[in-house]
Amino acid sequence: MKLYAIILALMVVCVLAFAGCRGHKVDRKAFMQLFADVQVTTQESLSPEMKTYYDMTLIDEAEANLVHEQFGQKRPIPANGGKKIEFRKFASLPKALTPLTEGVTPPGKSLSVSTIEATVSQYGDFVTQSDVLELTAIDNTIVEATKILGRQAGMTLDTVVRNVLQSGTNVTYCPKVGADGAETAVTSRSSLDNTCQLTVKVLQQVVAKLRAQNAPTINGKYVAIIHPYVAYDLMRDKEWIDAHKYTTPENIFNGEIGEIAGIRFVQSSEAKIYDGGVFGTLVMGDGAYGVTEVTGGGLQTIIKQKGSGGTSDPLDQRSSVGWKAMRTAELLIPQYLVRVESKSAAFSASAAEN
């Protein structure tokens, strides 16, 4: 598809240049319209290769926005397996402090398993294009629409997961800080003010909280999802390490910007902002939550060509591009995830709830 477009574009340039050299006047508008007509013909005969190209375009655009789901346990539902999935959670065993007696087999323990059910929901959207737009547009409108829809799909699915993670009750509120540096504890979101900023000290307390719960790390560190406005304050700390300065920068997460206090930070403009400019930063260990989808229904591109609508489109005036996906998430071990609520002196006043 790309090669075809490039060859066609080169033909256009060559013909225009040749005509100019020969002294002929060329109707550029009419000539470019011919180029647009050829594109429409290509779009109407949607080959498997073109379908794959559009699928990959949508997925590439979506994946860039799938920040919140990348640390969850993936649990796909088999096709035709229903809309519910059952996550299994195994309880830890108590310490075995009774000394063994020589020659005597101890009673042993049984695994304690609990289950958590989650129900997937389907999401999707589409855009419709007219035949007039296709005939007059020089750009490939299907490609552009696919890119825009891909970004929408990624942000939608990411928000579905984010809202589940933000619903946890394991919360740390950043304290108020007076002019003299004295701290006052905060116990509710409504009590936060612009002095309640996320600091290294607060993060160290969160890490201690996770370690006290024996929360496992993710590749040796805990991970946080943070809004750029909150990251602004942390990145000015002298202890901050930018991601590109890592000893192994090739192993960074999608959206990772750096680390401090034993936490690797992934930045997203879709990190939660509550009413009043309160930011929710998620700090987590491994296994805190699960994400699921239906096999074969993960993320699909749907392209309806002109003429496919039957009597609902009697003059072949409309085509459409859309996407649909099934997704859900569930907190599995809530104590492995801490939501840190804070404000920003620089940005809270203008930050809109998302």
**C-alpha distances out from residue 280 to 11, 226, 337, Å:** 54, 8, 12
Predicted confidence at residue 189, as pLDDT, reads: 95
Residue 17 has pLDDT above 80, yes or no: no
Tokens found for residue 205: 């307390």
342 close to 196: Cβ distance less than 8 angstroms: yes
Tokens found for residue 197: 């900023």
- Interval 215-232 mean pLDDT: 95
pLDDT band at 298 (very low <50, low <70, confident <90, very high): confident
Q: Which of 107-111, 288-292, 330-334 has the lowest mean pLDDT?
A: 107-111
Identity of the amino acid at 307: G
The DSSP secondary structure of 98-152, one letter per residue, reads SPPPTT---------EEEEEEE-EEEEEEEEEEHHHHHH-SS-HHHHHHHHHHHH
36 close to 125: Cβ distance less than 8 angstroms: no
- Interval 189-208 mean pLDDT: 95
Predicted confidence at residue 140, as pLDDT, reads: 73
Strands 263-267 and 256-260: antiparallel
pTM listed for this prediction: 0.75
- Which tens digits make up the pLDDT trace of 37-55? 333 333 344 566 666 766 7
Q: What's the fold here for domain 47-89+113-354?
A: phage-related protein like fold (3.90.1690)
Residue 13 has pLDDT above 60, yes or no: no
Instruction: CATH 3.90.1690 in the chain: give the residue spans.
Output: 47-89+113-354
- For 206, residues 6+ apart whose C-beta sits below 8 A from its C-beta are 172, 263, 283, 338, 340
